[in-house]
Structures are given as C-alpha cells and as structure tokens.
Structure 1
C-alpha cells in the first residue's frame, strides 16, 4: 500500500500493479480497495497498464478531512495522477464516473476517460430522487444511523425494491456497507443534480472535450440506458458502448477488453 497526500493534507491510500500507461480506477458508492469491483478489474488490465486502485477519502485506509467538497475529491485524484507520473487515464463506475467527469473538467493531466453507468435519471422511466433526499441522507449520517443511511440510499438513490432493501442486513457484506455509510453524502453530492428526471444540462459535460467512452449494460434498466445515451450525447468527444448481457454489477471479464481497446489501442495509434 502507498499513500498520496492531497492538497488539504488528506492521505489517500492506493495500490499499483502492472506496467504501462497509468490508468486510475475510481470506485462508486460504498466501495473501496478491499470491497468492490476494481481490484479484479485491475488484475485483468495489469499486462497493459500501470493500474492504480485507491480508497476514496473516508474509506478503507484513506484519511478524511472535513468539510467535504467535490473539489477536494478532485484534488485527491490530482495527487494520484501526480504519483503516477503527471498524467493518466481515468475509469469510473457509478458515482465514480461522475467524479471522473468532475476531474476531467478541472485537470488537464487527464488524457482520456471511461465512464460506466453514472446513475443519471434523465426521463420518466424511473422515479426521480426526491428534493429532500440529500438532506435526509445527511441527517442519518450526522446521527450515526448508518443502517438507515444505507437503506435510504439503496431504496431511493439506487431504486431497489423495498423488499430487497429489507433483506440487505442478512447479506455477508452488510457490515462493510455500514462501515463506509458516512461517505454516501459525498456520492450524492456528485450525482443528485442529474437525478431529477430532467434532461442533462449543458454543463459540466460540454467542457469535457477529451476522448470519452460511455459504457452501459445491455441488461441494465431502461432508465440507466437512457441516462448513458444522454451522457454520450452531452460529451463532445464520446462514444457509447453497450456491454451485452451486463448489468450495473458489470463483470470484469466483460469490461476489461473494452477498456483495453479504448485506452491501449488508441494510445498506440
């Protein structure tokens, strides 16, 4: 394990495997190096890239300094890019994709980005999040009601049926989810403005002019497919790629070749 120091002094824990162009993998909500999809994905990409996985602030082995802001999370990524040699490719999944977009807006050291299923709700194909959703989530976190925060996020943020959410405490991973529940407002800050059921605004997307790959699962719900088509349309230099048979829980074996082709082959060209 290594640590990069962000501008506000927060130590961000990361691992690096492989050799080649630097590729940083950015987790979504409730995930970190020891619990999430990016570790197995890194193993499949290490033959072509120097792959960086890290714990977003407040998770795993990374520190946390308050108050939280999106700018500080971008600075965390900037510290990682500097540790990787000064430039990098970025891949983000779910709310991590939204963070990657924010980083691409601000950091000229980002060369290309790949985005998988940012949770944007852009039409009426699912119920949008309520106007007080972020405030209610923050209230649970402030009162250390971690279980309630996770359940609210899963029901209203993710859109899982109530009966599925009710059974989640029986899952082996429930303790890990609660351990990082205090970071859910950070993910919400990154996504909630694009979860109202309205078309995507011109900004922040129009200013991300570097090459972008927008991925979506062929078995993902209609609202997610609509959101990713809208995202690909909003980014000036993006292409949409549907992964047949995949859902939001995308299999590393299906995703890795797509990322390798986008980053590595275009790098050689």
Structure 2
C-alpha cells in the first residue's frame, strides 16, 4: 500500500498488483479497496496491472470537510496521475457513476468500463435532504445509523433485509463506513441523469450488466446504452446479484486492453 495526495491534501490509499496495461478499479457504496482484491488478482492473472484504492472516508484514506463530489473526482485524478500514462478505469455501481462523472470533468482515461451504474435519470431520487441527515448522524457519532438510513432510502432495501444485515457479524465492519454514504448520495444525486459532458466522453466506453440483477440496474444500463450510442454494451451472465464476476470481468477487460 502507498498513499497519493489529492488536490486538497487528503491522503488516498492505493494498492497495486500485476504488470501490463493499467486498470484502476473504483468500488461502489459501503466497500473498500479490500473488497476489490479478488478482481484485482484476476486482472493480474489476465496480464494487467490492477490498482485499487480506498475512496475518501474509507479504509486507509483520509477525508476533509465539507463533502463534495468534486473531491472524489480529484482523488481519482491523483490516483491516475500516480499510475502513469495510458490508464483505464472500471467502476462498479456508484463507482461507475463516479468514473463517468470524472471522465466528463476531463479526468484522463484511456478506456472506461461501467459496471451496473445505478443511474435514476431523475426518477424516484432519494429525498433532497438525505445527505444532510446522513451527515448529521455521522456528526452525532452514529455512523451505523447512517448506513441503515442509506440502505433504506438511497438503495431502497426492504426492512427485513436491513434488519437481517444489521444482526449479522459483517455489520460492525460496514458501520465504520457511515461517512462514505454522504459521498455516494451526493455523487449519485448530482449525476442522476448523465450530463452532456458525461454522455459525450471521447474514450471507448463499455457498459457491463449482469443478467440476474436488480430491475432498476437492468433499466439503467439499457437506458445509458441508448444515450451513448457509441458505447459497447455487454451482458455478463456470470455476474449475479449486483456483483461483478471477477474471472469473467477480467477476461472482458483484458481482451479490450490487449487490443
């Protein structure tokens, strides 16, 4: 692990494995670089140099106030600048929204892969004050309640599932990521509908979607593909339940970077 310094001075932790064409992996909500270790190893085995990083307010990365999507764009730009020329990016879930948002802001990428981005296109967006309520819970010392509120109102998970997860051993670890829910809520709201700058990025774009996934993600991927007619759209049968299959995704990415 090493740290790069973002534009506002925040340290961002990054990990590297493998050699070959470089691919930066951006995780989704309530996850850290550790959660991308398996797919990073598969990328490495496929002949790629895989870089994972802790998005700010997660894992070994720092944070600064106030939260804003632009800070995450600067973080990604710092990771790419430290990784050398010809860097491609793959983002999953909210990480895919962040990746396309950053590309639209001019962050240099050779190629972009978007895995099941949860664009809402302005429909059924969470309440406008959600990020303020999440931040208030964090400020009051209740990050676990911020995680629950995020799952309920931003993700839309049913109450029985939330309660089951809250009673599981994994919840204690996830609860430490409460502050990160503010960032995910902000970036997905800001980019609920992809802007013209996002839709008109010039690098090659591949949109990935599992076959067995949530209906909102099926609709979002199809709609995004219609809005970006030059993008490649691929269904990945091995990816299920909003999880990227590491081996299948590595095979797809490696084939395109090799070409």
TM over 0.5: same fold?
yes
SS in 2 for 1:115: strand
Structure 1: runs of 5+ lacking an equivalent: none
Matches of 2:194 and 2:23, distance apart in 1: 28
Question: Which residue of structure 1 aligns with residue 89 of structure 2?
Answer: 90
Aligned residues of 2:125 and 2:189 also touching (Cα < 8 A) = no
Correspondence for 1:134: 131
Matches within 5 A, 1:111-150: 111-122=110-121, 128-150=125-147
2:196 counterpart of 1:206: no
Tell me, yes or no, if the aligned pair for 2:28 and 2:91 is still in contact at 8 Å. yes
User: Residues 108 and 8 of structure 1: is their aligned pair in 2 closer, same or farther, counting only changes over 3 Å?
Assistant: closer
- Please name the residue that 1:231 is paired with: 224
Q: How does 1:106-185 map to 2 (within 5 A)?
A: 106-107=105-106, 109-122=108-121, 128-185=125-182
Measured in 2, the distance between the counterparts of 1:85 and 1:194 equals 28
SS in 2 for 1:216: strand
- 1:194 Cα offset (Å): 5.3
Asked whether 1:254 is paired with 2:248, we answer yes
Deviation of 1:108 after TM superposition, in Å, equals: 5.1
- Taking the aligned partners of 1:250 and 1:54, their CA distance within structure 2 comes to 17
CA distance in 2, matches of 1:139, 1:227: 30
Aligned length: 257
Instruction: Report matched runs for 1:71-90 at 5 Å.
Output: 71-90=70-89
- CA distance 1:85–1:123, shift in 2 (3 Å): closer
What TM-score, normalized to structure 1? Answer: 0.88
SS at the partner of 2:9? coil
Counterpart CA distance in 2 for 1:123 and 1:226 is 13
Deviation at residue 80 of structure 1 after TM alignment: 1.2
- Per mean C-alpha deviation after superposition, the further-off stretch among 22-31 and 147-156 is 147-156
What is the alpha-carbon distance in structure 2 between the residues aligned to residue 213 and residue 112 of structure 1?
A: 8
CA distance in 2, matches of 1:119, 1:194: 10
What CA deviation, in whole Å up to 9, does each residue of 1:155-180 have, x standing for no partner?
Answer: 22222111010121222211111111
TM value normalised by structure 2: 0.91
Q: Residue 110 of structure 2: SS of its match in structure 1?
A: strand
Conserved? CA contact 1:26–1:100, under 8 Å: yes
The 3 A distance-change label for structure 1 pair 66 and 92 is same
Instruction: For residues 26-59 of structure 1, give each alpha carbon's deviation from its aligned partner in whole angstroms, at most 9, with x where no partner exists.
Output: 111111123x2x1100100114211101111121
Structure 2: stretches of 5+ with no match in the other structure: none
Aligned-residue CA RMSD in angstroms?
2.0
CA drift at 1:202: 4.3
Structure 1 Cα separation of the partners of residues 190 and 75 of structure 2: 22
Alpha-carbon distance change, 240 to 76 in structure 1, aligned in 2, over 3 angstroms: same
Match of 1:44 in 2: 42
Would you say the 8 A contact 2:90–2:112 is kept in 1? yes
Counterpart residue number, 1:192: 189
Alpha carbons 1:2, 1:13 under 8 Å: kept: yes
Quick check: 2:101–2:191 contact (8 Å CA) kept in 1? Answer: no
